Amino acid sequence: MSDMPRGTATLSPFSGWRHSLAQNMSFLLSFVILAGLTLLYIGLFHGQLNAYPGTFEWTSVVNTAVPTVLVAVGQTIVVITRGIDLSVGGVIDVSNALAATHMKDSLASMIGWSLAILALGAVFGAINGILVAYGRLQPILVTLATLAILQGLAIWILPEPGGLIPPSYSNTLASTQGPWSLCFIALVAVAWLVLRRMTIGVRIFAIGNDESAARAHGIPVRRVKVIAFALSGLLAAASGLFLAASTTGGDAAAGDVYILTSIAAVVLGGISFYGGRGSALGSIAGAFVLTILTNVLFFAGINPLYQSFFQGVFLVIAVFLGVILGRLVKAST
Amino acid sequence: MSDETRTTPAAQNLAIEAIGISRSFGGVEALTGAALTASFGEVHALVGENGAGKSTLIKIIGGTVKPDAGSVVIDGEDVTASGPRTARRLGVGTVFQELTLFPWLTVAENLFVGREPRGPARLIQRRKLPQRAAEVLERFEVNGINPRSLAGSLPLAQRQMVEITAAFMREPRILLLDEPTSALAEREVEWLFGLVRRLRDNGACVLFTSHRWGEVGSLADRITVLRNGRHVATERQLTEHEAVTLMTGRTIDRMYPDRPALPEAESEVALSAEGLEGDVLHGVSFELKRGEILGIGGLAGQGQPELFLSLFGARKLTRGQISIGGKRAKLRSPADAIKRGLAIALVPEDRKTEGLMLPMSVKDNLTLAVLDKISQAGVIRRRQELSLVGGVAERLQIKTRNAGLQAVGTLSGGNQQKVLIGRWLLVEPDVLLLFDITRGVDVGTKHDIYELVVNLAAEGKALLYYSSETEEIAQLCHRVLVMREGRVISELSGAEASAEGLVAAALREGDR
């Protein structure tokens, strides 16, 4: 330790890496799975086309992954407080539909509507949070209900798939020329690391660990829950905007698949549904795993009809592997 | 004890003034007009039976529970309607009976919750946490705890020490300690008492509860006794006998009942173990006769819980033979054990996971293990169920308003433990494995439980008995096996099996 001389206290030398390995096992595992799957993808790609995936392929992977990443990070925050947010799908639907119907090809309109939609997402999330925290209702129940409401709202805004996203908006956010949208992922990753070092971050983890202990520590449990759900809503809205940009149009049901993929990404990221532990970086890896898995299944020549079957099998194996490895590491320390 | 030269507490500033406090939970009155005053510069003990309302009163003073009636004044400020944040601002620190560490945060993170070291832009400097925590732990002379460990992975005593350290490092002016010693060994208790005395000498007020009378006597300047949610007395000095009388409202002349006569030499062997081997146990053998109370002694954590669980089929044995009623028994699961007439009542060290279904009713908890017996074609016979429950509730004097409706979680700790024992009495077992069933229970309830244990032996049941209090084993058991590192190192009986004899045997190197 460089900043040591203040006290004579020292940390035992063996305490470092073994501890962090044991404690971050499932988190690290998500990156190992991601690396393995990426190699498999490259191998299959090479086997089929006798070339390596280039800028076009990687851009497409990143652009497909971004909406999942955004929504999964929001889901992570809620799950760490020991909640769950099913309404993210509905928030994406509404954001997507609003963008496709209202955004005009002017800078003011694009920026204005983007901010308005993000704010709206945060408000939807906060309503979930208020119902959960102040109404003392179960998160799964509340968000199932608001999901249905938002889905209805989206259909009312955009009854049939269509609408138009200004091309300049699409090109800026979801450029097909290169994986520039990686910077959105970097942004949420940095935001996550900052959150971890803020009071609210500590509080989110604390209430997921033990709500009554958090209360005894003077933590405003209800307010923290509202903030957690609001962040989830905000990120879901961002996800909806990006989805609209990358598909250049709107679909009032576009968000529905993200309900389960966001949860799957969280699980793959090693975040416990009992709350209080985990890292959004894991969920980001999880979101990429799900995206690349689709490509792997495609290049493995699997009939698209059976895709979800193999996705399910893969999920069970991955989660099972995490549990086994966790036990092995625990036994060895 | 306070000496005459110190100013009397009444002349000093009042730290805590709670008057006329009432509070009920779901219709059960925990406190009925209770009162307590404590001053700066004193250590004040709060004693009473389980369910007397000590914990509730402490929580009300700490702001985590709001009273239904009455007023709480802390350091001159009325805090009756405010919460834990106000209490914190006024310098109130707490160590609650239910630990408030966050299990999935590290020791360092736990110590610094709410007061993390901040860097630029007020961001928390997470990298500095372990080092800072190591310094704090060293300052408080806490050894052997890695600040990077997850709090939930520590043994209970260490968790308690972290919790205590967290409270003391905030330099509280008023410190509330609810059963702070329940998980601590003697040396750690001395450590805590040193901290408490130093804090008091610096002018702070310390309010604490304990079931161990020795601690109350040696630490407290004044003692307040609660009974059934009411203030009974506040005294500078009390003998144990006076205190027990005040707490229970009855005079208990003798804590321990007479042991039943030793079973006849030819009386039937109810349970025998031969060469039990497991990951913790090493060659444990013994015979337990009907009518006998066999004690399992030794220091804590020498394989006693593993022995009990293995005998009950809840833990794997790699080798060895268990016979019940003279017949070899292969126990693959607790269900096997129950079928063969075994029952277990086990209270683990944290008491939180007692095997009770807390939200379920007293009745449902009692009949859980005998549902098969009292049902026909899968339907429970109501009348039989009610009569069984009524009988056992009366025999154990379980204090409940309505066994069919009241959730076990709303009972006091002592009554919860009675329900746990009652469940296994309904099974009508031949052999009862009793593991630390009096842990954390008040004197009155302890007394009841001792009588029950002795009566069960007199009825011809075979009892295996472990307790974290050596005195109990010495007073109740016919014979005692002393365990060390998973082995039985000696067998004591008669005069040898006194509390002193047992402690000496536990500390002696086994002659292997």
Confidence class for position A123, pLDDT limits 50, 70, 90: very high
Confidence class for position A14, pLDDT limits 50, 70, 90: very low
Q: What angle do CA B392, B394, B396 make, to 5 degrees?
A: 70
Q: Are A183 and A191 in contact (CB under 8 A)?
A: no
H or E segment to which residue B17 belongs: strand B14-25
pLDDT on residue A235 = 98
pLDDT on residue B11 = 45
A5 has a pLDDT exceeding 70: no
Mean pLDDT throughout A33-50? 94
In angstroms, the CA B26 to CA B15 distance is: 31
| Percentage of residues of chain A with pLDDT beyond 70 | 92
- Is A16's Cβ below 8 Å from some Cβ in B? yes
Instruction: For residue B115, list chain A residues with Cβ-Cβ distance below 8 A.
Output: none
Matching residue, tokens 């069960």: B456
In angstroms, the CA A249 to CA A245 distance is: 7
pLDDT on residue B352 = 57
Instruction: For residue A27, list chain B residues with Cβ-Cβ distance below 8 A.
Output: none
Q: How many of the other CB atoms lie within 10 Å of CB of A318?
A: 19
A15, with CB counted inside 10 A (0-12, 13-18, 19+), is middle
The CA radius of gyration of chain A, in Å to the nearest whole number, is 21
B114: nearest CB among A7, A213, A217: A217
Instruction: For residue A214, list chain B residues with Cβ-Cβ distance below 8 A.
Output: 102
Mean pLDDT throughout A76-98? 97
The pTM is what? 0.79
Tens-place pLDDT, residues A139-161: 999 999 999 999 999 999 999 99
In angstroms, the CA B452 to CA B458 distance is: 10
Q: How many of the other CB atoms lie within 10 Å of CB of B241?
A: 12
A220 or B187, greater pLDDT: A220
Dihedral of the alpha carbons of A157, A159, A164, A170, in degrees to the nearest 10: 70
Mean pLDDT throughout A93-100? 96
| CA distances (Å), origin B261, targets B265, B293, B453, B455 | 12, 10, 13, 11
Contacts of B419 (CB under 8 A, 6+ apart): B356, B362, B365, B366, B396, B398, B408, B411
pLDDT on residue B351 = 59
A12: nearest CB among B88, B104, B146: B146
A175, with CB counted inside 10 A (0-12, 13-18, 19+), is middle
A243 or B365, greater pLDDT: A243
User: No. of H helices and E strands in chain A?
Assistant: 14, 0
In angstroms, the CA B232 to CA B234 distance is: 7
Touching A: B residues 410-429, CB under 8 Å: none
pLDDT on residue B43 = 96
Q: Are B477 and B465 in contact (CB under 8 A)?
A: yes
Confidence class for position A13, pLDDT limits 50, 70, 90: very low
Instruction: For residue A4, list chain B residues with Cβ-Cβ distance below 8 A.
Output: 131
H or E segment to which residue A239 belongs: helix A221-247
A15 has a pLDDT exceeding 60: no
Matching residue, tokens 């110190």: B6
A230 or B408, greater pLDDT: A230
Mean pLDDT of the residues in chain A:
90
Per the DSSP assignment, residues forming a β-bridge with B222 are B44
Contact between A7 and B134 using a beta-carbon 8 Å cutoff: yes
Q: How far does chain B reach from its first CA to its final CA, in angstroms?
A: 46
A249 or A263, greater pLDDT: A263
Token pair for A74: 């929001």
Closest-CA distance, A76 to chain B, in angstroms, reads 16
Instruction: For residue B109, list chain A residues with Cβ-Cβ distance below 8 A.
Output: 202
Q: Which parts of chain B register pLDDT below 70?
A: 1-12, 26-27, 97-99, 252-253, 348-354, 509-512
pLDDT on residue A26 = 75
Touching B: A residues 144-183, CB under 8 Å: none
